Structure 1
Amino acid sequence: MPRVSQSHLDARRRQILDAARRCFISNGFHATSMQDILREADLSAGAVYRYFQGKDDIIMAIATDALGELTSAFDAALGGETARPLDEALDEMLGVIRRLSDTQDIARLILTVWGEGVRTPELAAFFNTTFHGVRQLVSRAVVQHQERGLLPSDVSADGVARVLIGALHGYVIQMALLDDPDPEAFRSSLHMFIGNTVRADPGAASMPHS
């Protein structure tokens, strides 16, 4: 019997997850049965159970994929040795959320996954771990801004990080639920709030003009 290539296995796993994602977005987790996923993927039960033990296993894999794309974007924006300006980093995150919502309906998917976290302790633990990692990245960026005199030093870096991440959570909710989320209005208003908090860079102000 010829050996199945890893690329074939990866493609089949992706086929199952894409089918399940479409079902979950359309019908929710609890109204979606394994038979629905099998039918949408056009695969036999044996083919699907080779990769996943059941629906909860598929839900965890989808949550890992969906949030993984966003945490990777956070890492790209803020994971360098010196954090980029917060408004630029948040702009990039808003753009990623909007792009993935347009191409993969990720805002509705994430909202569905968040709701499932209330029921599933394993999923809730995963969300906590993911949120903690992202919060550390944003807190580190806030501390660097404070060290450069761009943010007040007497505010909690962790508190600022929670508020900024909360704004992105709100953006996801609006993209998922509203008929008119108006991403540009959200982006420009968030810039206004950040601009009223972040001071001009003292180093930039002291640089001679050419």
Structure 2
Amino acid sequence: MARVSQEHLDARRRQILDGAARCFARDGFHGTSMQDVLKEVGLSAGAVYRYFTGKEDLIAAIAGEAVGGVREAFERAARVSPAPTPDVLIGRVVRTLFGAGADGGRGLDRRAYAGLIMQVWAETLRSERLAATLAEAYAGLRAAWGELVGVYRANGVLRADVPDDHVARTLIAIAQGYIVQIAIFGDAGPEVLEDGLRGLMSMDLPSVS
């Protein structure tokens, strides 16, 4: 009997994850059954259970990929030199996150993909396994963007009395809020964030005595 290649096994696992992601994006984690996933991917229960123990295992795998995709987008933007201004930085993040093929080729539009990310965030409230994954990724984001804020300060463009971590968390929150807006209200291009941040950055605030 011929051995099945690792390439074939990886492709089959990818097929299952992609089909499950489409189901979850369409009907939600808890509105999707394993039968729905089997129908979507066109495989037998035995074929799917060879790779995943059940729906919780599928959710964890998809959540890990979604969290990893968000983290990669943030960290890639933070590695650019010279350090981009916040408006350019956030624009790069969301373009990376929602660019062509950013959903892993699952055929999800930007709103559906944003909704899937939101589901992952919500699922962490009930799953310690997912909460640990997200906490690790968030800590990495804060560290990477804290370093970037330190570059702003070293370049003399950021006041010294605001902690690096506070600025990093605010920048992350802006990108997170954008994901929520896409998922709930529909598509909005990254230029919306870029223009809005550019406008806020141009404010001439009176000095506080």
TM-score (norm 1): 0.85
CA offsets per residue over residues 108-161 of structure 1, 9 Å max, x none?
A: 110111111111111111111111101111111001110111101111110111
Query: Which residue does the alignment assign to 1:22?
Result: 22
Matches within 5 A, 1:127-146: 127-146=134-153
Matches within 5 A, 1:10-89: 10-79=10-79, 83-89=83-89
Point out the more displaced range, 79-88 or 160-169: 79-88
Query: Which residue does the alignment assign to 1:208?
Result: none
* One of 169, 178, 183 as aligned partner of 1:162: 169
SS of the residue corresponding to residue 65 of structure 1 reads helix
Query: Which residue does the alignment assign to 1:109?
Result: 116
- Paired with 1:180 and 1:79, the residues of 2 have a C-alpha distance of 27
- Paired with 2:51 and 2:184, the residues of 1 have a C-alpha distance of 32
- Paired with 2:203 and 2:147, the residues of 1 have a C-alpha distance of 20
CA contact (8 A) 1:23 1:32 kept: yes
Q: In structure 1, list runs of 5 or more residues that go unmatched.
A: 198-210
**Aligned residue pairs, count:** 197
SS of the residue corresponding to residue 52 of structure 1 reads coil
Q: 1:61 to 1:184 in 2, by over 3 A?
A: same
Q: CA deviation at 1:80?
A: 5.8
Q: CA deviation at 1:94?
A: 1.8
Letter in 1 for 2:174: A
Query: Which residue does the alignment assign to 2:197?
Result: 190
RMSD of aligned Cα (Å): 2.1
Q: CA deviation at 1:29?
A: 0.8
Q: In structure 2, list runs of 5 or more residues that go unmatched.
A: 205-209
- Paired with 2:96 and 2:202, the residues of 1 have a C-alpha distance of 21
Q: 1:179 to 1:163 in 2, by over 3 A?
A: same
Query: Which residue does the alignment assign to 1:205?
Result: none
- Identical-residue share of aligned pairs (%): 43
CA contact (8 A) 1:71 1:130 kept: yes
